[in-house]
Amino acid sequence: MQRGAMPQIFSPRADRRLRLALGLGGLAAVALIVAGFALVRSDRAWGVGEAAPQPIPFSHAIHAGEIGLDCRYCHSSVERRADAGMPTAATCLGCHSRVWSVSAQFTPLASALALGAPVTWSSVHRLPEHARFHHGAHFAAGIGCGTCHGEVAAMPRTVKARTMSMGWCLDCHRGPEAAAANPSTARIEHFGVAIPPLTRCSTCHR
């Protein structure tokens, strides 16, 4: 080794490798951030297409599809109230008490009936506390269930078909005339009722 001269810490080849590694690291960090944003916007991040574990393996494909029961048979307040309403154990047992009651999968129905308590279905649509939704208002405007829930009558297990994100709500609220058979303009024209813009924060937030 020569005296006086600083020994080179890295050989030129190692130096090139280090620079390459640093460069790739930077690229990877950028890719991770981009992927993060994409995930936040993707349907999967909102649970679209994912079923929830249920106490009874209920199938809309059988009940609303094959048998052809109307949605309102089980979700009876959907035309008038904010919440669509869920069937009671008695609604199910009207059909299942005689023929299928022996099966273990109906035990939760029997106990719900005995306790006078609702069956504890898991929800795949529940909005956060701060957001407000109203089924009756959308029903009156002529927006079909499928616009927001997809082809429920074809689902063996219930899944979310749309994100239900604020951006998704606003996409329609900015121009509901395109989706609604009976939008608010009709109310204004016929009854002279002024309806606040559907994009106002307080429409959906308390």
For ligand HEC, the binding residues (CB under 6 A) are 54, 56-60, 62-64, 67, 69, 71, 73-75, 78, 83-84, 87, 91-92, 94-96, 105, 121, 123-128, 131-135, 137-139, 141, 143, 145, 147-149, 152-153, 158, 164-166, 169-170, 172-173, 176, 179-180, 183-184, 187, 195, 198-199, 201, 203-205
The enclosing H or E element of 179 equals none
Long-range CB contacts for residues 162-165, cutoff 8 Å, separation at least 24: 162/48, 163/43, 163/46, 163/48, 164/46, 164/125, 164/127, 165/46
Cβ 117 to ligand HEC shortest distance, Å: 15
Contact 125, 164 (CB under 8 A): yes
Nearest to 70 by CA among 90, 57, 84: 84
Cβ 23 to ligand HEC shortest distance, Å: 34
Considering the complex, state which of residue 17 and residue 126 has its C-beta at the smaller distance from ligand HEC: 126
Considering the complex, state which of residue 6 and residue 193 has its C-beta at the smaller distance from ligand HEC: 193
* Tokens describing residue 43: 């349907």
Considering the complex, state which of residue 3 and residue 130 has its C-beta at the smaller distance from ligand HEC: 130
Cβ 72 to ligand HEC shortest distance, Å: 7
Give 57: exposed, middle or buried? Use CB within 10 Å, 0-12, 13-18, 19+. exposed
Cβ 77 to ligand HEC shortest distance, Å: 8
Considering the complex, state which of residue 110 and residue 141 has its C-beta at the smaller distance from ligand HEC: 141
Q: CA Rg, the chain, in Å?
A: 28
Considering the complex, state which of residue 14 and residue 187 has its C-beta at the smaller distance from ligand HEC: 187
